[in-house]
Structure 1
Amino acid sequence: MNKLEAFGHIAALAMRGDLVFPTSVNAALRVQLALDDPDCPIDEAIRLVLAEPQLAARTVALANSAMFSRSGGAVVTNVRAAIMRIGYHNLFALAAAMVVRQFGSKITDPELRNMAEQLWDHTIHVACLSRIIAREVTYVNPDTALFAAIVHEVGGFYLLSRADEFPGLLEPDPENWQPASEEIITREVMHKLGIPEPVATAIEGLRDGFLQIPPDTLLDTLLLANHLAPVASPLPSAPREEPAHSESIIDLFIDEDKLARMLDESKADAASMNAALLV
């Protein structure tokens, strides 16, 4: 099976809903589904989190990270206090991060594992930047921005998880037919994961989207965060005209001092969030 046939095969399976997820992903999805209900009782949320030891440990670690304890509050030592501190939206995002992370857990090829690690680092930086950009620049919901950024490369993670079976699947594509298959696969993976439509629409717009001036949408938030992220995605992307991301354009809506503060904060958040998620 050549590369074109492999992509066609995976895309066809995805369109039928025949997606291969690790068992650990399915467990995290059950938690995520329950947390999607804003009326989920706190005791039920605690029960669900405690049923997944990794999620419980990471919830407490995240609550104690610099991202959520800048005010110098007491150290959180239990799941109830952790959930109260970070809130349901961020707990939902944490469950989503576990889902995304688990896609790379079974990769055996060293080169593919390195790509998965770089893609994870890219994702974390984009997530932390998106949260800050939402708060400081675009004024969209910061929790939504964080969640959208965590899942914005979920299609890429899924392809990496299948690339062991199809050697050469993610090599450069000079004929540029790969993006159409990637879009189909990403769309179906997001559907299977229950990604809300506004978030899915923004993610699908990343490939060909252009930054608005001034930026004020979730798509703008993700575009700007991707541009500013210090770690690039290792995956090949569709060639397109460079959007208006020059530093002179950014200067129109973020002054130099503010940008420096945002970048410093996001780097600190990325380090603490990554440490919490790797507990």
Structure 2
Amino acid sequence: MERLDALKSIAAQAGRGELAFPTHVNATLKLQRALSDPDCHVEEAARLVQAEPLLAARTVAIANSAAYNRAGNDVTNVRAAVQRVGFRTLGALAASVIVRQLASGVTDPLLRAKADQLWQHSANVAALALVIARRVSFVDPDTAMFAGIVHEVGGFYLLSRAAEFPGLLDGGADEWIEYGQVDIGRGVLLKLGIPTPVMDAIEALWNGMRALPPETLGDTLMLAKDLAPIPSPLLERPGFSPAQASATIDFAVGDGTLALILRESEEEVRSLVNALD
């Protein structure tokens, strides 16, 4: 099958909801749904998280990060970590496990490198989105971090299918944007049960709509993506430097500027990225 035909075929399947997820992704989805149950209490949430070692480790790491541990008092168990970060952050962490699991079966070295870079990009976007939400746009920070984690989930799904179609990713960013990003991304987001406000923010990102200073969740997500030091490997363009592009983005925020806020938040962003990895 030709590359573009394969991409269109995967996009069409995703648009119809015909998605093939690895078994462990389905298991984590069940866990995420259980955690989102309003009748789920801290003790039950801690028990569920402890049953998933990767999620447990990330929950404790996030709880001890500079973003959530302002007093410098580390927690050493899952229950205390769950109490500190709250259920919405816990949902975002469960989503991060699902996103990573989507491409966990990728064994080709080149595809594996792309998957690793895509995760580094997503983790940076998530951390920056949380900081921007807290200090600039004043939208819900946990939702902003969640949106950053899942905004490239369609790309992870594409990478998980790429081994079936040799040469699938040989095209450039324009092909991914035109033939796959929206249909595959929307299909996977719907399958994962992503809340409507987050879906709308990611749709705004695809459409390129943004206000500066950011006002909405979509604005926040797009600014975080523009500022991310590591680009998406599916959207890289020859001669484009994220560092140079982000250096040109600045505006007044209260008595300071975006650049000042980002400098002040460097440790917070770095600790979040490390905790999510």
Structure 1 residues not aligned, in runs of 5+ = 239-244
Q: Does the 8 Å CA contact 2:134/2:140 hold for their aligned counterparts?
A: yes
Amino acid at match of 1:24: H
Question: C-alpha separation between the residues in 2 aligned to 1:94 and 1:112?
Answer: 24
Structure 2 residues not aligned, in runs of 5+ = 238-244
Match of 2:50 in 1: 50
Q: Over residues 18-53 of structure 1, what are the superposed CA-to-partner deviations in whole Å (9 max), with x where a residue is unaligned?
A: 212122211221111122234422222122112212
Within a 5 Å distance, the mapping from 1:51-130 to structure 2 comes to 51-73=51-73, 75-130=74-129
Match of 1:161 in 2: 160
Question: C-alpha separation between the residues in 2 aligned to 1:231 and 1:78?
Answer: 32
Q: Does the 8 Å CA contact 1:107/1:113 hold for their aligned counterparts?
A: yes
Q: What RMSD, in angstroms, separates the aligned Cα atoms of the two structures?
A: 2.4
Structure 1 residues 177, 112: CA separation in 2 closer, same or farther (over 3 Å shift)? closer
Structure 1 residues 211, 31: CA separation in 2 closer, same or farther (over 3 Å shift)? same
Q: How many residues align?
A: 270
Q: Does the 8 Å CA contact 1:97/1:150 hold for their aligned counterparts?
A: yes
Question: 2:215 aligned with 1:216, yes or no?
Answer: yes
Match of 1:191 in 2: 190
SS in 2 for 1:206: helix
TM-score, length-scaled by structure 2: 0.88
TM-score, length-scaled by structure 1: 0.87
Amino acid at match of 2:47: R
SS in 2 for 1:94: helix
SS in 1 for 2:202: helix
Question: C-alpha separation between the residues in 2 aligned to 1:29 and 1:20?
Answer: 14
Instruction: Decide which moves more: 178-187 or 268-277.
Output: 268-277
Task: For residue 270 of structure 1, report the CA deviation from its aligned partner.
Answer: 4.2
Structure 1 residues 177, 160: CA separation in 2 closer, same or farther (over 3 Å shift)? closer
Structure 1 residues 56, 174: CA separation in 2 closer, same or farther (over 3 Å shift)? closer
Question: 2:153 aligned with 1:143, yes or no?
Answer: no
Q: Over residues 174-212 of structure 1, what are the superposed CA-to-partner deviations in whole Å (9 max), with x where a residue is unaligned?
A: 874852432111111000000011101111221222321
Q: Does the 8 Å CA contact 1:68/1:85 hold for their aligned counterparts?
A: yes
Structure 1 residues 257, 12: CA separation in 2 closer, same or farther (over 3 Å shift)? closer
Question: C-alpha separation between the residues in 2 aligned to 1:206 and 1:268?
Answer: 26
Task: For residue 272 of structure 1, report the CA deviation from its aligned partner.
Answer: 2.6
